[in-house]
Chains A and B, each alone.
Chain A
Amino acid sequence: MRHHAVRWLCLALLAFAGAAAAQDRFVVCEACHLGIENLHAEPGTGAIIVPKVEPVRFADSLHVGVACQDCHVRGYDSLPHHDIRVRGCVDCHPRTDAAGAAADAAFDFRRLAAEMRESAHFTATRDAFASRTDLRHGIRFTVLGEEDGFRCALCHHPHYMAAPAVTVAERVETENAWCTSCHAGEPERPPNLMLAVEWDALASPAPAGLVAQHAAIPHAERHLDAARCVDCHAPAAEPHSHAVLAGSASATCQACHAPASRLEALWDTGSGERASGAQDEPYVIGATRSRMLDALGLGLLGGVLILILAHLLWRAWRRIREGKR
């Protein structure tokens, strides 16, 4: 009974969408992909599934004003979709309008895309993408502007693109979620992998948990809470580097625990000031020590050594003088 109701609801939505398509390009896709949550009926089977795009999250995203067909450019006229083509991020970014260009100025998208293609993400998953076929639906897809394989959207979900986090804690949480969606202890298949093949072959979970995975690091849990994955697992030479390294090639401890700490990139808001939440003086041993205290302490030790040396010399001189008498 409920299945019938849902089917009728979907058909009604499709009919409405078809009628409105000429006026609003969103509606056709919304009927199935952005519908009422948990009430989407899959064509053919009628099975109720969660919609492909969560409407509330999409409504909050920076891409809410982008029409579906601006990115999904081919293969969506038929149901099920076939031989689809999707634009990649770098086809639009960096944007050319004044506001968009200003917002994108901090990111060298061409470099980021090139780094990604050299990264472990791309090279280690190349085979998994070889068939370009979604095993569930037999959908063939092509991503424009990128080579086949790992792509931006697998981590940076285009439907839920959020404004950059402001605080350090938010930044750590947001950016680490990009990684843990595949690399956590029990990662869930991310919704933006709807077109990917063999997600199980792509994901590299840490069955014992991330803390156990990082057991070689002292106080691993604190590190995972306070730093981003990329602070260790990506080179620091370029900002926002996407040349994600294999685990064994991650940064050394001194990359963060030294005066020129790569964590400055985490704390830096881009305006030359540290992000709020980082505190005026974030403390990381070796990196944020007080130079004044260091100078005073070393001065104290140096002074003591000089006094000891002077006393030794004075005693030696006195002994020589007494010997002459």
Chain B
Amino acid sequence: MKAGGGWHASNAARLWHATTILLFLVLLATGAILHFAVPSLGRAGYTLVVRLHDIAGIAFSAVLVIYLVFVFASGYRVHYLPRWHGLGDRVRAQARWYLAGGSGSPPAAGEAAASRFNALQQLTYFLVVFLLLPLLVVSGLLYFLEVWGAGAADPALRAWRLGWLARIHEVSAFAGAAYLLVHAYMALGTATGRARLGFMFGGRAPAGTSGPPHDSERREKSP
């Protein structure tokens, strides 16, 4: 939505985005501490980290479920579903544009009026929102339930399940961390991106920037 010469996002969208980032960072940090057995944490410190990871994990799961319900109930899912025809060419063109520093008109501009995302964003977000994050959340919740005692009664079966759930959780966590690095770089690595950071915090981007993230293809005319 553009108003007064700048772009703004709804408070709900910004709250969801900020909550997701915050919880994801907490989960990454606490997960890494537990997984890599960072020494010199006392018993109280280790316990705190475990409880933080448990609580943040449950909160992250709830936020994701709420978002997915919103996405499917509101019809917002159309923005995430890539148009498969010619997707490879469009993704390559978009990637070249990003690699070149994002100067000039983006190749997808004006092309996908039905979606707020360009082809590369669509493919990436589709994989992240519908595959990576659910995998991360489901493996984490199942792991939590096994540890909590709601899983297998047989210790051997429980150990086997925990091992596999932990591996799936670890792989998806590394993938999520890699995505976060790229996402942050692409959002902040350009002048427009830095303006978008203000947009995420303040809800408004200054006039003259390319608009909020993800909206390069769908710019509503201001009244």
CA distance A257 to B38 in the complex (A): 9
Q: Determine the distance from Cα of A119 to Cα of B178 in the docked complex, in whole angstroms.
A: 50
A218/B101 contact (C-beta < 8 A), A287-B37, A293-B170 known: no
Residue in contact with B47 in the complex, picked from A216, A290, A304, CB distance below 8 Å = A216
Say which size band chain B's interface belongs to. 35 or more
- With A252-B43, A277-B156, A293-B167 in contact, is A218–B181 under 8 Å at CB? no
* Chain A residue at minimum C-beta to C-beta distance from B175: A300
Which residue of A222, A254, A279 contacts B46 across the interface (Cβ within 8 Å)? A254
Docked Cα-Cα span, A279 to B189, in Å, equals 48
Given contacts A216-B47, A254-B41, A301-B177, contact A283 B36 (CB under 8 A): no
Contact A254 B39 (CB under 8 A): yes
Q: Least Cβ distance of B179 to chain A in Å?
A: 9
Number of A-B contacts defined by CB within 8 Å: 102
- Beta-carbon contact of A285 and B35 below 8 Å: yes
Please, which residues of chain A bring their CB within 8 A of the CB of B41? 252-254
Bound Cα distance A289, B149 (Å): 21
Report the minimal beta-carbon distance from B198 to chain A, rounded to whole angstroms: 21
Which residue of chain B has the shortest Cβ distance to A309 in the bound complex? Answer: B185
- In the complex, whether A5 has a CB less than 8 A from a CB of chain B is no
Determine the residue in chain B with the shortest Cβ distance to A318.
B101
**Which of these binds chain A: B72-80, B86-94, B112-120, B158-166?**
B158-166
In the complex, what distance in Å separates the CA atom of A224 from the CA atom of B35? 21
- A312 contacts the other chain (Cβ, under 8 Å)? yes
30 A-B residue pairings within 8 Å (CB atoms): A169-B156, A216-B43, A219-B50, A222-B147, A225-B155, A252-B46, A253-B47, A257-B34, A257-B37, A259-B37, A279-B156, A279-B160, A281-B159, A283-B159, A283-B163, A283-B166, A285-B35, A286-B35, A289-B35, A290-B167, A293-B167, A293-B171, A296-B174, A297-B170, A297-B171, A300-B174, A300-B175, A301-B177, A315-B101, A315-B189
Q: A168-B155, A289-B35, A300-B174 are in contact. List 11 more A-B contacts (CB 8 A).
A: A169-B155, A218-B54, A219-B148, A219-B149, A222-B149, A226-B155, A254-B39, A254-B46, A278-B159, A279-B163, A304-B182
Residues on A facing B (Cβ under 8 Å): 168-169, 216-219, 221-222, 225-226, 252-254, 257-259, 277-279, 281-283, 285-290, 293-294, 296-298, 300-301, 304-305, 308, 311-312, 315, 318
